[in-house]
Amino acid sequence: MAKTAAPSGVAEVDSVLAKYRKAPAIQAEVKKTVVQEVMGTSHESEGKFYFSKGKLRLDIEKPEKSILVYDGKNIWLESRLDEKTVEVSRIRSGDIKKTDSLMAALFDRRDVLQGFKLLKVTNKDGQKTFAFEPKDTKKTEVRHLEVALQNKDIRRITYKDNMENQVTFEFSSLSRGKVPAGKFTYKPPKGANVTEL
């Protein structure tokens, strides 16, 4: 009996994610684009992505600074409204219902794609894009997920939430090597407003 495209497609993405999980460390330049379809707005930001042994950090450097750290137990989101006002959110590990924790879940949890079904695979200019949708929309805010691979590396992750916001992460200048362990620890700055999600 011939295999269907769905399991093999999921396996291909899973194998790349598994390779990332086993790597001593990975870092890359990242460009983040947020499109709010309801508002008709688009916002771009740039920064650096770090990943090592199940831990993840995303430092957005411009135009506004923000930090996402997954330390293996919690997901920390730090945003600066201005020089003095710092907002910090903490999401406990395992709650992938929130779209903010999707990136951490993809890189850390082996079973995350089991909650999605593969819709289609497209191949353009040597880049394969896998489009997924959730099997149960009550279990996640994510309504659509795309992972683009090129030469066994992740080039792009795009997801859409239940408010029709589309978030895209594009990775470039990917390198493997050591990342200081301190990159994956986080302590809210003094005076920050900390919220538990």
Percent of the chain exceeding pLDDT 90 equals 37
User: Which of residues 181 and 146 earns the better pLDDT score?
Assistant: 146
User: Which of residues 96 and 150 earns the better pLDDT score?
Assistant: 150
* pLDDT for residue 138: 83
* pLDDT for residue 8: 65
Q: Report the chain's mean pLDDT, rounded to a whole number.
A: 85
User: Which of residues 161 and 16 earns the better pLDDT score?
Assistant: 16
55 pLDDT exceeds 50?
A: yes
Q: Which long-range contacts (CB under 8 A, 24 or more apart) does 108-114 make?
A: 108/21, 108/54, 108/55, 108/56, 108/70, 108/72, 110/14, 110/17, 110/18, 110/21, 113/10, 113/13, 113/14, 113/17
Band (pLDDT 50/70/90 cuts) for residue 99 is low
Please give the residue range of the domain that contains residue 161.
Answer: 5-173
**Is position 181 within any domain?**
no
Q: What's the whole-number mean pLDDT along residues 59-73?
A: 89
**Is position 178 within any domain?**
no
**Is position 98 within any domain?**
yes
**Is position 193 within any domain?**
no
CATH code, 63: 2.50.20.10
Band (pLDDT 50/70/90 cuts) for residue 1 is very low
Band (pLDDT 50/70/90 cuts) for residue 113 is confident
Band (pLDDT 50/70/90 cuts) for residue 3 is very low
**Is position 151 within any domain?**
yes
Round to whole Å and give the CA distance between 95 and 74: 10
Band (pLDDT 50/70/90 cuts) for residue 93 is low
Band (pLDDT 50/70/90 cuts) for residue 94 is low
Within 8 A by CB and 6+ apart from 141, the residues are: 97, 98, 99, 161, 162
**Is position 99 within any domain?**
yes
**Is position 192 within any domain?**
no
* pLDDT for residue 6: 42
User: Which of residues 132 and 10 earns the better pLDDT score?
Assistant: 132
Q: How many domains does the chain have?
A: 1
**Is position 186 within any domain?**
no
* pLDDT for residue 111: 76
